Amino acid sequence: MARKNTDIRQEEIKQAVLDIIFTDGLKKLSTSNLAKRIGMSEGSIFRHFPTKQDIIISIIEDVQNDFIGQLRIIANSSLPPIERLQKFLCATVNYLTDNKGITMLLFSEASHNNDAALKSSLQQIFNNQKQLVSKIILDGIALGEWDESIPVENVAMLYMGIPVSLNIDLILRGGEFHADNFCSKMLQLILKILKK
Amino acid sequence: MARKNTDIRQEEIKQAVLDIIFTDGLKKLSTSNLAKRIGMSEGSIFRHFPTKQDIIISIIEDVQNDFIGQLRIIANSSLPPIERLQKFLCATVNYLTDNKGITMLLFSEASHNNDAALKSSLQQIFNNQKQLVSKIILDGIALGEWDESIPVENVAMLYMGIPVSLNIDLILRGGEFHADNFCSKMLQLILKILKK
DNA sequence: TATCTTTGTAAGTGATTACTTACATACAAT
DNA sequence: ATTGTATGTAAGTAATCACTTACAAAGATA
């Protein structure tokens, strides 16, 4: 087969991982199937990643950089808190619906594996989102826009339920979804909680 | 080894499944490990269940009967809606914290497997909860206690986020949790949404 | 007591797993 | 042109998987 650089091959492999998970389920994610999907030999995969686990870890790092990075920019922007919250929520919903393979991977890996490093990465992804939401809410309270007596930690937890249960829904129903309405409807509910 | 009836053995096997998942992760759930945990031979397992998959299915049926059954009684009771909602939420939180093995199993199985019957069972568990919550809310609205303009479907979805994200938290953090505060704090947030 | 069904086990089965080894060749640097 | 390194493959490896087979014995029924 044609030769390509490791970085290109790594991307191909990671894409194939997500592809298989979404179309066939995590059970079918073997190095053998992975090689078939890309059209290369099984041995070649181990030229570009030392172990199968390292492929998963690399994907989770991508999520940290791309997804959480994007959310961090939104949360720290100078927009009014209400607009930040709206952008934040919609960005999350869009990411989840656009990357179904990734979300299934995160879910399953969390309960499937007992690897400490992996679990800690997943915990970070979850907690980072919670902290960024808390920041937006606290900013809104500081500006006098929202009720200062609300328990911010609990609202953030309730907020996190939105993407997480959306996730479950996506996994169970297999994909079809109408993001626009969902995003703004959920925002309105959260805003009612935040209202003075 | 001492002989026991199939029904007793089936319970032992199912308990061992949940035990392994919680202590060692789903990856270690092999028929070989299962037999070791119980202290019986691997072949004996297949005397009491035709396949490994059937053990999982039987556990999910237990969840339907025990957990959803309990929630159904609460939702259909003649208590005031606000009390039903409180009992409903606390029963869910307690079940999740008491049965960590089960919740991990449901999560993982949903994304791991592509078995249609299994996925449909999991979907039913999720949807039944949503429907029961919707019923309580609609009853409250009919009694004039809550805002009739709220989108019930979306509140139910937001509500479902509570147990689901609690679940994630339990999986990632490994167990320790203070249920009492959580239960009532979350209820207050939902009530603020429902308020006229 | 004799027989039949249920429950148990040890030792297999072939399939699949993640990963390795030995070797070939493309391509960049000298 | 020569050499060294990165990328490729086919054919392994031992371990593990879910499950089966052949046979033994417990316990109920006759």
Per residue of chain A (196 residues), what is the pLDDT tens digit?
678 899 999 999 999 999 999 888 888 999 999 999 999 999 999 999 999 999 999 999 999 999 999 999 999 999 999 999 999 999 999 999 888 888 888 877 777 777 888 888 999 999 999 999 999 999 999 999 999 999 999 999 999 999 988 888 888 887 677 776 889 999 999 999 999 8
Interface of B with A (CB under 8 A): 21, 24-28, 104-105, 107-108, 110-114, 119, 122-123, 126, 150-151, 154-155, 157-158, 160-162, 164-166, 168-169, 171-173, 182, 185-186, 189, 192-193
pLDDT in tens, B170-189: 888 876 777 778 899 999 99
Alpha-carbon distance values, B62 to A118, B125, B170 (Å): 31, 11, 21
Helix (H) or strand (E) segment spanning residue B94: helix B81-98
**B192's tokens:** 């603020």
> Per this entry, what is the length of chain B?
196
- CA of B128 and C1' of C18: distance in angstroms? 40
- CA of A41 and C1' of D3: distance in angstroms? 27
Helix axes B100-112, A100-112, angle to 10 degrees: 140
Instruction: Return the SS3 of B132.
Output: helix
Lowest mean pLDDT among A37-51, A125-139, B22-36, B64-78: B22-36
Q: In chain B, what residues touch A119 (CB-CB under 8 Å)?
A: 172
Q: Find the farthest-apart pair of alpha carbons in chain A and give their distance in angstroms, rounded.
A: 64
Residue nearest to nucleotide D17 (CA to C1'): B30
Tell me whether residues B123 and A172 touch, CB distance under 8 A. Answer: yes
Alpha-carbon distance values, A2 to A5, A14, A34, A44 (Å): 10, 19, 17, 12
Find out whether B135 and B75 touch, Cβ atoms under 8 Å. Answer: yes
- CA of A74 and C1' of D11: distance in angstroms? 52
Tell the burial category of B195 from Cβ atoms under 10 Å away from its Cβ (0-12, 13-18, 19+). Answer: exposed
Closest CB to A114: pick one of B24, B122, B192.
B24
